[in-house]
Structure 1
Amino acid sequence: DNEPTPLSALPLHYYVAPQGDDANVGYTADAPFATIQHALDVVKAGDTIHLAPGDYMEDLITQVAGAPAAPITLVGPPDAILRGKGEMSTALRVRHDHYALVGFTIDGLHGDPSAPDGYTEKLLYVQGETPRRGVTGLRVYNMAFRNAGGECVRLRYFAQHNEIAYSTFDTCGLLDYTFDDGGKNGEAVYIGTSSNQWDDGKNATADPDESSYNWIHHNVMNTQGNECVDIKEGAYENIVEYNHCTGQLDPDSGGLGARGDRNIFRFNVVEGNMGVGVRLGGHKVDGVQYGRENQVYDNQLIGNRQGGIRVEVKEQGQ
C-alpha cells in the first residue's frame, strides 16, 4: 500500500498565453500554449489550466470530464478575456462534468461593436449529450460575463448540482435589446429548456428538461436584457439567493422568473427592472401545469416598474 504514486497520475498544471505556442510543452508560464483549446484537448481529471492576461479569440469546447474530487480547473485574472471568434454561437461549451471556472472574463465582443455579428451569442453554454443525464459538478466562481448576443450563461438539459457564484454579469441580450432582433433573449443565467423547445432537436431527448439542484448565489447582475435568472418548465429545486439584480428591460417578464416547480428565490435584491421583481408560473403541457410551489421570501424588491411579484399560476409556496 506504500507504493509511490506514479508521476503520470499526479495533477498537471498547464499554462496558456496569447503569445505562446501550442508546440510548447505548456508546463510552465515561460513556455505556454497559445490556445485554451489545446489545453482542453490534453487535460485530464485534476489538472489546472492557467490563463495569462490577454485576449483569447476562440470558440471552446470541453473534451474530457473531471472527477468529483479532481475537477478540471480553468483559472485566470480578470484581464484574461475569452471572446469567442464568431464561428460558433458559444464562446465556451461545457459538455462534461466537474469543471471549475475561476477568475477570468468572458466578453462576447470579438469584432465590430456596432454590428450584431461582432458579438458571440452565448458566453458559457452548459449542455450534456447523454440521454436524460446532464452536466454536473460545474463551479463558476469570481467570473465576469459581459456583452452576450443572447444569454450570458445557459444550464441546459438535466444540468444538476452546478454552482454559479461571486460573479458579475453585464449586458446580456444585445441582439434583441440593442439591435432589435425581435426576440426577448438576454438572460444572465438561463436554467433549463422552454417547453416550446423540448422537441427542437437540440437536446438528446425531447423530455421535459429536469435541470435541478443548481445554486446561483452572490452574483451581481445588470442584464440590460431580460431576466437575471430564468428557470424554465421542468426545471425544479434550484436555489437563487444573495444576488443583486437590475437592468432587466422586458415589461412582460421579471428580474427573476420561475416557470418550473419548487424553486427558491431568497435574500436577493431585485431593483430598477422594467418588469416585475419576481414572476412565477409556466405553461401547461400534456395536462401538467408547470411553475408551481416555488418559494419567494426575504427578498428586497425595489422600484420594479410592474410591481413586486406576479403570480400567474396559483399553488405557490411561501
Structure 2
Amino acid sequence: MRPRSALLAAASAALLLGFSAAPAFAAPVVQVVDVATAVQLRAALAAAVPGQTIRLAPGEYHGAFVAQRAGTAAQPVTLTGPATAVLVNDGPSGSAPSCPAPASGWDSGYGLWLYGAPYWNLTGFTVKDSKKGVVLDSSPHVVIDGLYVHHVEDEGVHFRRSSADGVLRNSVVEYTGRAQPGYGEGVYLGSANSNWGCHGNTGGADRSDRVLVEGNRIGPYVTAEGIDVKEGTSGGTIRGNTFDGRGISGENSADSWVDVKGSGYLIEDNRGTFAAPGTFANGYETHNPATAPSFPNGCGNTWRGNTSDLGGVGAYAIRITSVSACAGRPNVVYASNTVTRATAGLTNIPVTP
C-alpha cells in the first residue's frame, strides 16, 4: 500500500496538471420531456436522445417541426400526445433547395418531418392544416400508431427516401389533397421513378420497402389513392384497413383505393367502399412503370380476404393491368376476396382457389 503522503502528492500533481482527482459524471438523461408550446417542442426535437419520450400537452402547435436525431432499436425516441395535441404548419416559406432537405430560411410546410431519424415512435396526436401531413425521409424503423391526419394540401403520410421497415397502424387519414387533388394520396410508399434523383438510393430506387399499413381508416375525401405503392418498393403488407372512396378526384389517374406499382406486396383483409361524389374505376389496380430490369414493377403481389363494395360504379375489385409484364412473377387473386355492386366483377384474371 502506498503511504498517505504519496497519495496526497499524486493528487496534488494531478491537480497541477489540470486533472480532477474526483471522477466526472455525465448528467442523467431526462426520460420524459413534457412540452406545451411550439418553442418547447422544437427544442425537444432538436435535443432528442435514444430512449426519450417527448410528451405533448393538449393544444395547437404552429410552425415547422423537424426531427433529425436517431433512436435505436433498443431505445427508440417517442413523440406522443392525445388527439387534442395538434401540429399545424402554416408554411411553406422561403426558397426551397433543389431536393427537399432541412435548411435555414426554408419552411417545407410539412406538419411533421423526420429527416435521417430512424427508430422513432409517433403516437396519438393530430396533424392538420399543413402542406403535407407526416413525411419520413431516410428514417427507417418508424412506427406511427393512432395518429389523426386531416385537411392537408397534398399527401397525408409519406414513407420516402428508403424509409423502410416502418409501420402505420390504427390511424385515420382523411381530407387530403385540398390544394392539389391529384396529389392528395392518403398514404404514399416510396417515390415515382422521376423523383429517384432526389429520393432514391444514390440515384437508384427509393427503397421504402417492407412497410406495414394496418388497421387504419383512409378516407373519405382522400382525393388521390388511399394508398399509392410506388415502383421500386417491395415486400410490404396492407392489412385490415378501411377505405372510404368518397371524394376521389380522378385527377392524375387517381381513381382507386390502392394503386400497386411495387412488387411482392400482401394486400389482405381490407374493406373498401365507394359512394358519390367522386371518380372511381376499380378498387385495387396494378401498374408496371418501366425502370431498371432489377425492379419488376407491379408484379408478385397477392390479394386475399378483401371485401369490396364498388357502389355500382367501379368495374373490378382488383384489376391487374398487364398479365404479360409479370409472366415470371404473376399477381395472385384468391377466391377469398369478395365483391358487391361491381360493373364487371371481382377481377380480370383467373382466380386462385
TM-score with structure 1 setting the length: 0.81
1:249 aligns with 2:255: no
Aligned to 1:198, the other structure's residue is in SS state helix
- Post-superposition CA distance 1:128-159 (Å, at most 9, x none): 1xxxxxx2221111110001100000001222
State the match for 1:106 in structure 2.
127
- Looking at structure 2, the residues matched to 299 and 237 of structure 1 have their Cα atoms a distance apart, in angstroms, of 18
Return the letter of the residue paired with 1:292: C
Partner of 2:262: 260
Paired residue secondary structure (2:213): strand
Match of 1:306 among 314, 330, 335: 314
Q: Deviations over 1:289-314 (max 9, x none)?
A: 41111111110111253231111122
- Conservation of the 8 A alpha-carbon contact between 1:187 and 1:223: no
Tell me which amino acid in the other structure corresponds to 2:31.
L
Q: Which residue of 1 aligns with 2:75?
A: 70
Structure 2: stretches of 5+ with no match in the other structure: 1-24, 93-107, 324-329, 334-353
Summarize the Cα distance change of 1:210–1:284 in structure 2 as closer, same or farther, 3 Å threshold.
Answer: same
Q: Deviations over 1:58-97 (max 9, x none)?
A: 2111121011111111111111100112132312111210
SS in 2 for 1:148: coil
Q: 1:207 to 1:72 in 2, by over 3 A?
A: same
Q: Which residue of 2 aligns with 1:282?
A: 288
Secondary structure of 2:207's partner? coil
d(CA) in 1 for partners of 2:35, 2:296:
48
Match of 2:238, as an amino acid? V
The one-letter code sitting in structure 2 at the alignment partner of 1:213 is: R
The CA deviation string for residues 224-283 of structure 1, in whole angstroms up to 9 with x for no partner, is 111111110001011000000013514443101210111111000011162311011221
Distance 1:250 1:196 in 2: 23
- For residues 133 and 77 of structure 2, what CA distance do their matches in structure 1 show? 19
**In the alignment, residue 153 of structure 2 is paired with which amino acid?**
G
- Count of aligned pairs: 275
Q: Distance in 2 between matches of 1:89 and 1:279?
A: 31
Matches within 5 A, 1:88-99: 88-95=108-115, 96-99=117-120
CA distance in 2, matches of 1:223, 1:174: 12
In structure 1, give the amino acid aligned to 2:135.
Y
Same amino acid, percent of matched pairs: 22
Q: Distance in 2 between matches of 1:226 and 1:84?
A: 22
- Cα distance in 2 for partners of 1:67, 1:8 equals 20
Instruction: Report if the CA contact (8 A) 1:35-1:56 is conserved.
Output: no
SS in structure 1 opposite 2:263? coil
- Judged with a 3 Å threshold, the aligned counterparts in structure 2 of structure 1 residues 237 and 202 are, in CA distance, closer, same or farther, namely closer
Q: In the TM superposition, what are the counterparts of 1:173-192 in structure 2 within 5 Å?
A: 173-177=177-181, 184-192=182-190
Distance 2:220 2:135 in 1: 17
Moved more, 277-286 or 232-241: 277-286
Q: Which residue does the alignment assign to 1:80?
A: 85
Which has more radius of gyration?
A: 2
1:294 aligns with 2:315: no
Matched, 1:123 2:133: yes
* Larger helix percent: 2
Query: Which letter maps to 1:197?
Result: N
Determine the C-alpha separation between the residues in 1 that align with 2:240 and 2:199. Answer: 32
Distance 1:236 1:202 in 2: 16
One-letter code aligned to 1:89: G
**1:30-51: CA deviation from partner (whole Å, max 9, x where unpaired):** xxx8431111111210001110
Gaps of 5+ in 1: 1-5, 19-32, 109-119, 129-134, 178-183
Asked if structure 2 preserves the Cα contact closer than 8 Å seen for 1:148 and 1:173, the reply is yes
Residue 286 (structure 1) shift:
4.2
RMSD across aligned positions (CA): 1.9
The Cα offsets for residues 96-155 of structure 1, whole Å up to 9 and x where unpaired, read as 1011111110012xxxxxxxxxxx211111011xxxxxx222111111000110000000
If the length of structure 2 is used for normalisation, what is the TM-score?
0.74
Q: Match for residue 150 of structure 1?
A: 154
